[in-house]
Structure 1
Amino acid sequence: MPNRALRGALALLLLLPATGALARTCDLSIGSDDAMRFDTSELRVADDCTQVRLTLRHTGRQKAAAMGHNWVLTRTADYRPVAIAGGRGSLAHSYLPPGDGRVIAHTRVIGGGESTTVTFPTAGLTRGGDYTFFCSFPGHWNVMRGKLVFG
């Protein structure tokens, strides 16, 4: 007879399909370049995704200190205040206020030829919510931005 811990684990596995608690990671990719552009203005996340793995590619040639890019996700109402506060920050903090709860997810700032990935849960997102992604490098956020649609 299996021990108590094993029986508990087996019982949990049997419940997962019934509760819909199976994890599903959805992959997204977005590009950026030396012309201060993302290659898309909208990203869509299916409502059955429990987490998102987003990869940012920088296809330009300039270094992060000169023309770096990152990918930041906030509620649309928070995007501008977060971007302005980040502009007073530093490259070391990816031009974001450290520990700012308005930031849902972000990558580090990268330079030309680099890529970076961030994985974040969708539990904090609302289906049909209003979300903006942007680059928080000073001066970029007003033109390098788009919409994330969940659900």
Structure 2
Amino acid sequence: MRGRASHNVLMEDVMFKQVLGGMALMAAFSAPVLAAECSVDIAGTDQMQFDKKAIEVSKSCKQFTVNLKHTGKLPRNVMGHNWVLTKTADMQAVEKDGIAAGLDNQYLKAGDTRVLAHTKVLGGGESDSVTFDVAKLAAGDDYTFFCSFPGHGALMKGTLKLVD
């Protein structure tokens, strides 16, 4: 029986090495799946809601793209939505200045350096994208995204965080 026991130990060792090798191969080939996601799709509705409340941006991304879709049916002058990114401390002042700027200016003050990125104001069924340099973001700073259409920012907002 001694020969058979040695054979079983040898077989277990070979099987262990095969499983370990297979796991290493799986890890190597799954690396692209674990790569940083440098874009996000976000939807705004006629109920004044974004479908995301938080966005994480990897420091490994050079640029980040936000794809906004207005999934409602109402026109932009009645229920328009945009996506605006500012430091959290700047949000309210940007909103206030945006109301004064009006719809023709996307409810954003022209040349406002507090606005880090923004889409245009969309009506139901429309889409827009914005791509910005991640280097504009600083680790540890608080960022808020929101809709600058008058009255929407109270409900249509979320956080954006730099991670990794």
Q: TM-score range by the shorter chain?
A: 0.7 to 0.9
Residue 45 of structure 2 corresponds to residue 33 of structure 1? yes
Name whichever structure is richer in helix by fraction.
2
Work out the percentage of aligned pairs sharing the same amino acid.
48
> Which segments of 5 or more consecutive residues in structure 1 lack a partner in the other structure?
1-23
Which residue in 1 is equivalent to 2:63?
Answer: 51
**Deviation of 1:25 (Å):** 7.8
Aligned pairs, how many?
128
**Deviation string for 1:51-110 (max 9, x for gaps)?**
111100110000001100000000000011101110112111110000000000000000
Provide the C-alpha distance between the structure 2 equivalents of 1:42 and 1:109, rounded to a whole number of angstroms.
20
Provide the C-alpha distance between the structure 2 equivalents of 1:145 and 1:83, rounded to a whole number of angstroms.
12
Please list every run of at least 4 consecutive aligned residues from structure 1 whose deviation after the TM superposition is greater than 2 angstroms.
Answer: none
**Deviation of 1:128 (Å):** 2.9
Normalising by structure 2, report the TM-score.
Answer: 0.76
Which residue in 2 is equivalent to 1:70?
Answer: 82
Provide the C-alpha distance between the structure 2 equivalents of 1:37 and 1:143, rounded to a whole number of angstroms.
6
> Which segments of 5 or more consecutive residues in structure 2 lack a partner in the other structure?
1-35
Residues 37 and 58, structure 2, Cα contact 8 Å, conserved in 1: no
Provide the C-alpha distance between the structure 1 equivalents of 2:52 and 2:119, rounded to a whole number of angstroms.
17
Bigger radius of gyration:
2
**Deviation of 1:142 (Å):** 1.4
1:83 alignment partner, one of 79, 86, 95: 95
Which residue in 2 is equivalent to 1:140?
Answer: 152
